[in-house]
Amino acid sequence: MASASTSSSSSGLTFKLHPLVILNISDHYTRVKSQSLTVHVSSSSNGAAAPPPPPRIFGCVIGVQKGRTVEIFNSFELLYDDSTNSFDRLFLEKKQELYKKVFPNFYILGWYSTGTDAQESDMQIHKALMDINESPVYVLLNPAINHTHKDLPVTIYESELHVIDGIPQLMFVRSSYNIETVEAERISVDHVAHLKPSDGGSAATQLAAHLTGIHSAIKMLNSRIKVLQYYLLSMRTGDIPYENSLVRQVSSLLRRLPAIESGKFQDDFLMEYNDTLLVTYLAMITNCSSAMNELVNKFNTAYDRHIRRGGRTAFI
C-alpha cells in the first residue's frame, strides 16, 4: 500500500508557500476543534469523559505554476465524507468555479490536511484529485505544538512512482519549500500576531477591540434572553403573576423573526451587503492611490528628475 517515503523529491520543483495558506489551515483546524469540544461538553452529562481527538480537516490549495516554480497563494475548505473517504465533488467544482471568477490565474495545485505524518489512506484522496491536477501537492500541517522546534510544522509532499518488490506504487516524498510574502501579507501577519490584550486589559488592536465588543454584545443578549425565558416559564407554572402586557410584547417580538426569512428581506440584505463591500473596495482603492501618490512624491524629492528638452537633458 502507498505510504510516505523518507526520501526527498527528485522532481526539481521549487515551492513557494504564502502565509495566508498557513493561516487558513490553522483557522480551519481551530474552528473544527472548538466545535467538536462544544458538542462533547453539551452531550456529556458530567463532562468528566475525555474529549475525543479533533477530526482531521481537508481542503484545496490554489496558486500558479510557472515553469519549475510552484507558488501556493491561497486555500479553501472542502466537504469530506468519512464513510466513503472522498470529497464532495459538487462542492469542489462549485468552489473552483467561484475562485476562477475572482482569481482567473489561480489553479488547484493540490490539497491540505492535518496530522503528524502522511497516512496510507491519504493516497486515495490524493489520487482522487489527479483528474483536476495530474501531479497534485499535499500540504500537511502538524497541529501538535513543539516549542523546541523553531521550524514551521508544515510539510509539502509530492507523489512519485516507486517500484517496490517489482510492483510500481505511488509514494509520498517530502519537498522543500520557501515562505514567500508580499508587503500586504507581511502587514496582515504582523497584525494577526499582535492580537492579544495589553496590560491594561483593553485589546491591542482595533480588530481585537471590535471582536471583543461583538462578543460582549452577544453575551449580554444571551443573558437577557435567558432572563426573559425564565420569567415566561415562571408565569406559565404560576410562580409569578401573569402579566398580559409583557406577553403581548414578547409575542410581537417573535412575530418579527419570520420576516428575515422572506425573499424580499434576502434581496434587500444582499443589496445592502454588496453596497457596503463596494464602498469598502472603493475606499481601499483610494487609500492605495493616495499611498502611491505619496510614494511618487517622495521618490521625486529624493532623486533628481531628468527632463529632456530640445534634445538635451536638463536637471531640475
Give the residue extent of every domain in the chain. Answer: 4-193, 199-258
Q: How many CA atoms lie within 13 A of 311 on its CB side?
A: 0
Can you give the pLDDT at residue 201?
46
Name which of 103, 168, 108, 95 is nearest 135 in CA terms.
108
- Confidence (pLDDT) at 165: 76
The model's pTM is 0.58
66-75, 83-92, 125-134, 301-310: range with lowest mean pLDDT: 301-310
- Given a cut of 80, whether residue 205 has pLDDT beyond it is no
Residue 199 has pLDDT above 60, yes or no: no
Q: Go through 129-165 and write b for each residue having 16 or more CB atoms within 10 A of its CB, e for each that does not.
A: beebeeebbbbbbebeeeeeeeeebbbbbbbbeeeee
The pLDDT value recorded for residue 137 is 92
Residue 196 has pLDDT above 90, yes or no: no
pLDDT at 208: 67
5-51, pLDDT tens digit by residue? 556 666 778 899 988 898 889 888 988 888 877 766 666 655 556 66
Alpha-helical runs (H) found in the chain: 19-43, 89-102, 122-128, 183-193, 206-237, 244-255, 263-302
CATH H superfamily, domain 4-193: Cytidine Deaminase, domain 2 (3.40.140.10)
